[in-house]
Structure 1
Amino acid sequence: MVQGLTLVCPVRGRLKAKAKGRDGLTPTEERFRVEALKHLVDSGYPVANIRVEAVIKRFGNSGRNSFRADFVVLDVPVASVGDDVDEILKHAVLLAEVKRDNVDAASAKSYQVKPMLDFAVRDDCVALYWDDVERRVFWTTRRAGAKVIHEGPLSDLPMFGAKPGATPLTFNTISADVSLLSVFSRIEDLLHSSSISESKRFDIIMQLLLAKLHDEHQHQNQPDAPLDLQDFAALDISPATSLTAVNRTIKQAVDYYQRFLPESVDPNLPATVPGTLLVEIMRVLAPVKVVAMHRSVIQDFYMYFAKHIYRWDLAQYFTPTPVTEFIVELLNPRFGEHVKDPACGSADFLTSTFRRGNAFGWTDYASSIWGSDISPEAVQVGVLNMILHGDGKTNIKKEDSLATIKENAETCDVVVCNPPFGSRIVEKRAEVLSNFDLGHKWSHTAGSWSRSSDLLSAQETGILFAEACVRLLRSGGRVALVVPNGYLGNRSPKFLVLREWLLRHTRIAAIIGLPRFTFKGSGADVSASVIFCEKRETPLKNATDSEDYEFAVEVINRVGWVTGDKKASPSYIRDESDGTLILGEDGDPQIASDFPGALSGIRSSDASADHNWLTKGVAPEPDQSSPGWTVEIGRVLSDPLLTLDPKRHSRKYCEVREKIENGDHFRLGDVVDFIGERSGDAGERREIVPATPYRYVEIQDVEIGSFRWTTRRGWELPDRARHFARPGDIFIGGIWNSVKKWFIAGASSGDLIVTNGFHRLRVKPGFEDYLPDLVAGLCTESHSVQMRALARGSDGLAEISPVDAAEVLFPRLTDPAQRVEVQPFVNQLLAGHTTVEALITTMMDNGRLPHPRPPARPDHTSIV
């Protein structure tokens, strides 16, 4: 086993050797040695009888040269034998050779494993070979007085004390504990070595993959019956007979799966694959159990080989595994419930659901899983993905889920969907819009929203899918929707109506905020959330008619991969002191993810009392001392905008405000006025004069309390140059990704003009003594947290409106000593000396320094 970065051997205890190489990811040879030893011990081989790194033969003058085994197993305790080589061989029942890489397999078998058997004294002695791909057993028999060496899969390892011999592989004896990508890479190498072209290689791989899946699927209910695909060499079956058996299985698989597949598959291997080559391939493939492998292992394999099989780049289709598994686990689908994804894409939510049901042992669970998508290519991807995960039903079809909503309404118990969204993805067909409440115009009168009979000319597809998902549900059913944060917080009436409709028709159970770029690997860079809802038996007339209940709110920071990387590279937990990877008990790096903690928190939160399906059939959380964060629905209903954005309801935001409210504090809007764009001192509109030089401030020119500028004439300024500054004005970042930026326009700022990415503030008369409090607060993370939480939108340019920014809270500096300490810096800012550069520039403008003033570069590309 493995503890942290250190290997713990079942024979030798804790080792100095590490489980991973210098790259922190590649397993060491010692890791595989420990893995092999653990397998033997788990299989009943006594620890006392195992000797590691044993010499089994000596050569040369006085035995100076020696032949070693990585470990041996004796029929008696090691302590009773000592170091005598002859005694060790006399009692050896197993001799083992371990390699780090399968590249060395052929030579290791020929020059190390088989010679060990030649040295063996006992007829029942076996040799074990173990690497990252293959785990093989060798033993000998006698024919006509000659010793014959046999080779078989790990399942042929005899029980301790039993005689060796080949046995057919069964579903129960094949193993999922190997890299599927490594297995098929080895098969590709074998095909390549036989001069089979690349295109043909991947056609053959597809045939073998379907045959393997069909064989395993057919034998899952008869786990002890021999499989059709065997390690034919181990069973001493001729190459010609082996070829016939494999082609028979391929034909059965193609007959079954062909109607689902995007391209036709030949039911027979090409003539270029001789029986001898197939026997070698089956040595590698037959002992592997595909349908039980971890989903991420299958996805890595599928994404790699589908590029060659179908010439598809699948990154655009897949939703990352940690996201889908978390969402499905929280939805908690139960046996007998029908689950559907009406915009299934690659069927990632459905594969997660299917595998979860299989893990619970639910019979024929595939019959309860449904998917549809309007894209034929997406359906093809989804079907093969489901097949690869062991689904024999493949209830995925090409369907326009919006057009067929009436006939499919109230047919599901659970719906999960990451619908297509975006302002440019719209539905314009009147016959489709007429099917939806949200395809109609709405009006707001007397404090209430009402739907008219008039259709919209167009509606965002994502909004219609939100309604469709709820309408697919039976009463009491539940849905998980991935939506951009703009849907949950934007002021636009169409989003406000969406929230009103959701609150009327469902009860919110949980909202999970995801970091920006979570879906960058599929081409989306918006900030998105997952909202979990429970369908009401009867819709409310108004959202505000709701009963009291609580819903859970979690904000995920670590998703398990690098969110800013389009490749979605995994991110791992590291030791904070030296950056080394922390390994789990399986010896693999542990994914850095907040999903397990969020799942535990929600299930132990007060929301589970109002939504009992969150925990129905789930084992109680072992530690409920820190339950998850919940919010009363009344908090949402008291907001005229019905804001559901998880930032606004997060624990972090709420606790920051609560701490400030517990002391002397003020609202930003109480002490400053927000000055509109292109406004003069008296509120009049000002215009940029083309010939006038201005000092222009861009967002990238501003830091925390400091700024710089570039001089441009009016005609050179971009349209976003909107704010005319005057001395004493405060500028604060007004968009999500620049809330930490702020500065004060100091003396002589009459020619300063600032981009529209900032709010222009002016201290109200009589509140000048609040300036030190403002300056101190603007430098803190508590200010940034509030501003980010108040941003409305779905990307880094999400805006904080003046109305929302006015609600930011600032503590008062109540200690006179604090104010004395801060005041000199405030004075410096008011004087315009925000940086040394600003001071020097002012001195040069006043002719107080001797430095020459050459013209500035006309552009950043100029080399001098």
Structure 2
Amino acid sequence: MTDEILAIKEAVDETSGEPRDGYIIDYISGREVRETPEEVDAVQVFARTLVEDYDYPKSHIRTRPQWRVKARPSDTKKEYPVDIAVFNSNTHDEDNIHIIIECKKKNRKDGRGQLEDYLRFSKSRIGVWFNGKERLFLKKHEVAGTVKFEEIPNIPRHGQRLEDVGLFERRDLRPATNLKSIFRAMRNYLAANAVGITRDEVLAQQLINLLFCKIYDERFTKPTATVSFRAGVDEDHDQVLKRIQDIFEKVKKNYKDVIDVSDSIRLDAKSVAYIVGELQMFAITLSDRDAVADAFEVFIGPSLKGPQGQFFTPRNVVKMVIDMLDPSESDRIIDPACGSGGFLVEALRHVWQKVEIQGNELGWPENEINSAKQEAAIKNFRGLDKDSFLSKVAKAYMAILGDGRGGVFCENSLDRPQNWSAAARTEIKRGSFDIVVTNPPFGKKLAIDTDDILKTYDLGHEWKKDEHEEFQKGNLHDKQPPQLLFIERCLELLKPGGKLGIVLLESIFGMPKYEYIVAYIEKRTTIRAVVTLPEDLFQPYTHAKTCVLILENTPPSDDHDIFMCDVKWCGHDSRGNPTYRVNSEGKRELLDEVPLVADLYKDSGKK
């Protein structure tokens, strides 16, 4: 069961009671319906979208009993059951039928064919096919006595004419309630239909470019002016592409730190019109930040296959680590292996929440609170990643959710700082950060073998015990896993008393060959917490078992407590599927112990 439909089920359970096993409560009718994949992933999701995003009253929508249309002109029984029917009023009859939605799990070609059959013998002019993964919008019209069907960029909101689709004033845009579903549909469409582009990384970069066009248009369009990021019904795809390319030229001037001068919109005109049609009625800049983060990872995730140890740290673990570190509004924060920016974004969210609480307590006006948020994002958040694509993703991520993009740099964190760009050297200095948080790359095939880098690190050398059983630094290693060098670099970045939260391979703390690493950590820092995580955490990408270490950059005391926690369940299994259990009240809930850890840590007094 998807996260979206689980939320629907929980919401209706509170008012309608628990359905029988194998059933869910239909969002529109309130009736029990079988818990089929079509119902769970498509019908209920789109029904909710019609109400929450398109403003259609539930009374105008029919799911159960199903509305039926003719299978042929002579049909008097109306044999075809429609998954969702939308009417122009509370009266559900053929004269008022407005939109037909078909949700069978077929491919795009078959879905369109069946939708056309439904529309052909109905008075509805508009149709939608949605299978939980892709969406298709059609309009029906008659040419010389022949029924024709054309794809359209979207369907009208309640009260809007079909001809007005895309003609939104800036003030008409609203946050989306289910961006994850929309981004998933866009990603699947592009993967199957984009002309000339097949690599996930390139598709992801193109989406970033279009998102910046959307953000720019939202920020620089007057409230009463019609947005430029739009695609209208019957509008030529090339015309839409030209308008977006014009916006992109302005984006390149305003986001020079993210978008290269040589960057371009490489998607074909039809694909651009599709993406614009999906996003045009929403205000991305006003959408819930967690929703945007979820949606962004849905799209970007497939482009990260982990060949260089690049894996998204699961959101529940990211939040756990940030909550344990508990950054304040004034803390300077850095992730020296920031990847796509997950830790930075969660830390930004955490800090902004504190700013809001403080501002509300002191009676600050909203613009002053927003100004304080912006200042924190710009002044206090920094990130490094040597992968140009990932650093761009992180910049885009920070720009979409806040505006800390200027603090993200494409540099090799493990290299000598004098080899970084002047901007990175200015903004990122050793001993200047209150909090370092990171999940450095790991993998059997990853190794640093450059003497020029290795010799700058204590942990780039061999360590052997002397006659007093004390470790002494020896010869230079031939090669060293980057994760080990990151431990030293992270500690170098911290101020005295600063805190480090780092995801490491659990084997570092159990294998005799890494005993010197443990000794190094114990000698230089105060260990505050060790949280072991399930082997399933990074599956299905890698079987590596990891742990989280919370360290304080202070000399260790002879006697101090260490918070120890062993997490057994992380919310998904080895295939990445959600894990559920039935609680004491007989309700199904996600089996995930990760969110419990931070509160246990704080209660232990180790915050």
TM-score (norm 2): 0.68
- CA shift, 1:127, in A, is 6.4
> 8 Å contact 1:6–1:14 — kept in the other structure?
no
Give the Cα–Cα distance (whole angstroms) in 2 for the partners of residues 489 and 286 of structure 1: 53
State the partner residue of 1:529. Answer: 547
Q: State whether structure 2 residue 179 is matched by structure 1 residue 176.
A: yes
Give the Cα–Cα distance (whole angstroms) in 1 for the partners of residues 166 and 517 of structure 2: 64
The SS at the match of 2:475 is coil
> 8 Å contact 1:324–1:349 — kept in the other structure?
yes
In the TM superposition, 1:403-802 aligns within 5 A as 403-404=416-417, 408-419=429-440, 456-458=474-476, 462=483, 465-485=486-506, 487-488=508-509, 494-495=516-517, 497-502=519-524, 505-506=525-526, 508-516=527-535, 518=537, 525=544, 527-536=545-554, 539=555, 543-544=557-558, 550-562=561-573, 569-574=575-580, 590=590, 592-603=591-602, 605-607=603-605, 610-611=606-607
The SS at the match of 1:2 is helix
Sort the Cα spacing of 1:457 and 1:176 in 2 relative to 1 into closer, same or farther, 3 A.
same
Sort the Cα spacing of 1:62 and 1:594 in 2 relative to 1 into closer, same or farther, 3 A.
closer
Greater percentage in helix: 2
Sort the Cα spacing of 1:521 and 1:410 in 2 relative to 1 into closer, same or farther, 3 A.
farther
> 8 Å contact 2:83–2:101 — kept in the other structure?
yes
Larger Rg: 1
User: Which of 37, 40, 45 is the equivalent residue of 2:47?
Assistant: 37
Cα deviation digits, residues 185-243 of structure 1 (max 9, x gap): 3234444xxxx4456x879846742331212332565796754331x233x54444323
Give the Cα–Cα distance (whole angstroms) in 2 for the partners of residues 89 and 370 of structure 1: 59
Partner AA of 2:208 in structure 1: L
Give the Cα–Cα distance (whole angstroms) in 1 for the partners of residues 441 and 193 of structure 2: 42
The SS at the match of 2:327 is coil
- CA shift, 1:494, in A, is 2.4
Give the Cα–Cα distance (whole angstroms) in 2 for the partners of residues 113 and 355 of structure 1: 46
> 8 Å contact 1:9–1:34 — kept in the other structure?
yes
User: Which of 186, 189, 204 is the equivalent residue of 2:189?
Assistant: 186
Give the Cα–Cα distance (whole angstroms) in 2 for the partners of residues 285 and 294 of structure 1: 12
User: Which of 24, 30, 33 is the equivalent residue of 1:13?
Assistant: 30
State the partner residue of 2:310. Answer: 317
Partner AA of 1:6 in structure 2: Y
Sort the Cα spacing of 1:495 and 1:34 in 2 relative to 1 into closer, same or farther, 3 A.
closer
Sort the Cα spacing of 1:5 and 1:411 in 2 relative to 1 into closer, same or farther, 3 A.
farther
Partner AA of 2:578 in structure 1: Y
The SS at the match of 2:434 is strand
Sort the Cα spacing of 1:479 and 1:77 in 2 relative to 1 into closer, same or farther, 3 A.
same
> 8 Å contact 2:29–2:62 — kept in the other structure?
no
Sort the Cα spacing of 1:522 and 1:348 in 2 relative to 1 into closer, same or farther, 3 A.
farther
User: Which of 376, 381, 395 is the equivalent residue of 2:408?
Assistant: 395
Give the Cα–Cα distance (whole angstroms) in 2 for the partners of residues 364 and 115 of structure 1: 59
Give the Cα–Cα distance (whole angstroms) in 2 for the partners of residues 404 and 260 of structure 1: 22
Partner AA of 2:392 in structure 1: V
Give the Cα–Cα distance (whole angstroms) in 2 for the partners of residues 13 and 410 of structure 1: 59
Give the Cα–Cα distance (whole angstroms) in 2 for the partners of residues 204 and 465 of structure 1: 29
Partner AA of 1:33 in structure 2: V
- CA shift, 1:395, in A, is 1.1
State the partner residue of 1:802. Answer: none
> 8 Å contact 1:242–1:278 — kept in the other structure?
yes
> 8 Å contact 1:439–1:455 — kept in the other structure?
yes
Cα deviation digits, residues 109-130 of structure 1 (max 9, x gap): 54434754458xxxxxx76665
Sort the Cα spacing of 1:399 and 1:150 in 2 relative to 1 into closer, same or farther, 3 A.
closer
- CA shift, 1:606, in A, is 2.2
The SS at the match of 2:384 is strand
- CA shift, 1:332, in A, is 3.0
State the partner residue of 1:848. Answer: none
The SS at the match of 1:554 is strand
State the partner residue of 2:228. Answer: 228
Give the Cα–Cα distance (whole angstroms) in 1 for the partners of residues 270 and 453 of structure 2: 61
Give the Cα–Cα distance (whole angstroms) in 2 for the partners of residues 529 and 246 of structure 1: 45
Partner AA of 1:98 in structure 2: E
- CA shift, 1:528, in A, is 3.4
Sort the Cα spacing of 1:283 and 1:266 in 2 relative to 1 into closer, same or farther, 3 A.
same
> 8 Å contact 1:343–1:401 — kept in the other structure?
no
* Percent of residue pairs bearing the same amino acid type: 14
Q: Which moved more, 1:286-295 or 1:409-418?
A: 286-295
State the partner residue of 1:88. Answer: 93
> 8 Å contact 2:218–2:227 — kept in the other structure?
no
Sort the Cα spacing of 1:282 and 1:558 in 2 relative to 1 into closer, same or farther, 3 A.
same
Task: Please list every run of 5 or more consecutive structure 2 residues that lacks an aligned counterpart in the other structure.
Answer: 1-7, 11-20, 143-147, 357-369, 419-424
Give the Cα–Cα distance (whole angstroms) in 2 for the partners of residues 264 and 382 of structure 1: 16
Sort the Cα spacing of 1:404 and 1:435 in 2 relative to 1 into closer, same or farther, 3 A.
farther
- CA shift, 1:439, in A, is 7.1
State the partner residue of 1:381. Answer: 390
RMSD: 5.1
Sort the Cα spacing of 1:335 and 1:131 in 2 relative to 1 into closer, same or farther, 3 A.
farther
Partner AA of 1:100 in structure 2: K
Give the Cα–Cα distance (whole angstroms) in 2 for the partners of residues 489 and 497 of structure 1: 12
Give the Cα–Cα distance (whole angstroms) in 2 for the partners of residues 331 and 186 of structure 1: 40
> 8 Å contact 2:71–2:79 — kept in the other structure?
yes
Sort the Cα spacing of 1:363 and 1:602 in 2 relative to 1 into closer, same or farther, 3 A.
same
> 8 Å contact 2:153–2:274 — kept in the other structure?
no
- CA shift, 1:384, in A, is 3.1
> 8 Å contact 2:338–2:438 — kept in the other structure?
yes
Cα deviation digits, residues 755-781 of structure 1 (max 9, x gap): xxxxxxxxxxxxxxxxxxxxxxxxxxx
> 8 Å contact 1:260–1:394 — kept in the other structure?
no
Give the Cα–Cα distance (whole angstroms) in 1 for the partners of residues 465 and 80 of structure 2: 87
